Amino acid sequence: MDSRWRDATLAALLEEVQRLGYLVGAAWLTGKGQPNPVPEPAPVPRPWELNQQQTTETEEGRGGDVE
């Protein structure tokens, strides 16, 4: 299995664990009218998204004014 697929699978699993924690927090750790103590799930970047971010950051670094 390619490492990109492994990394994408791990990212998807982490997102699911975050969602489950959020749902459990909402169901069991809060009363009526109280906020959920568990933070909302955050998306985990996939390997191909990381490459795009690095490329964008590099291009932005080159585009600045040079003195």
pLDDT of residue 61: 66
Among 8, 9, 15, residue whose Cα is nearest residue 42: 15
3-state SS, 15-58, equals HHHHHHHHHHHHHHCCCCCCCCCCCCCCCCCCHHHHHHHHHHHH
* pLDDT tens digit sequence for 23-58: 888 888 777 888 888 888 888 888 788 777 666 666
This prediction has a pTM of 0.62
Distance CA 25, CA 51 (A): 34
Across the range 1-9, mean pLDDT stands at: 81
Distance CA 37, CA 35 (A): 6
